[in-house]
Amino acid sequence: MWRIYALLTTAMLIWGLNLPLLKYLLLHIEPVTMTAFRLLLAGISVFIILFAFKLVRLPTKNEWKYIILGALLNVVLHHYFLNMGLYRTSGTNAGLILGTGPVLTAVLVSLIIRNYPSKVQWAGFVLGLTGVGSVVLAGGGPASLALGDIFVFLAILAQVLSFLVISKAARTIDPRLLTAYMMVIGSFVLIIIAVIQEPGEIRAFAEVPRLFWLGFAASGIIGTAVGHMLYNYSVGIVGPSKAAIFINFNTIFSLMGSALFLGEIITGRHIIGLFIIIVGVILGSGAAEDMWNQRKKQKKPSL
């Protein structure tokens, strides 16, 4: 179990450091076009990695249903609404709304698949949300509801629903292979949307600087392909609720990446938020209960 927790933390580190890289890429290419081709590169990369490990196979008829539904939710709707939302709202609002992901996941899991988190895990969800709020609000900015906020919420809702699909599909198909199929199918749908919404933007790729291609490759292969492969694999092992609580780490790793590469300032309030997030993740993931139960077993006298 600790290996899965390490994989989830690594995935959040990759996603967090990917954020400032995406900000640079979006200076050159419009968001939907950028996202579509970045995800296509990511999907192809995952297929190459899995082919090397002989894990590629054709899905069954039933598995195609999960792949298509997962592609629409996790790739098309999540990324489309997130990009549209970030254009229309502040980073503060977006960060707070994205921080509701673990709590929203726990609620939907409880309602849909009747898998109820413990009281300790609920406390971890609330603490994690508090920590995210502390970190994001430290940056200031407006807090009024806008159309962009609704788009960001729809993005996180689509992602949370996709976690439920991934968790169920993982019973028969490797989540990493599921990720590859979802990314490729979803990227083609996004390319169609990009051609309609951002006509002619594909030509902008011919005018970008050389450094752009290095960032594009790093974001697509490492930030997206490897990051999603690790996360979706972990969802298939520990379930959506436990995996989702680690999303809180994404906020703090994004902040660190922005400080390192974009020169943003980390304050004392950020450090306090980091501490609260760590405690929330330990409680919400079930790691604290695992340690407590293991300790009780060690103390229990043998007969």
Interval 125-157: pLDDT, tens: 677 667 666 665 655 554 444 677 778 778 888
Q: Which residue, 103, 104, 229, 92, is CA-closest to 154? A: 104
| pLDDT (tens digit per residue) in 46-93 | 999 999 999 999 999 999 999 999 999 999 998 888 877 766 655 555
Q: What's the whole-model pTM score? A: 0.79
Distance CA 132, CA 24 (A): 24
Count the neighbouring beta carbons within 10 Å of the beta carbon of residue 240. Answer: 26
Domain boundaries, the chain: 2-297
Tokens of 160: 């949370």
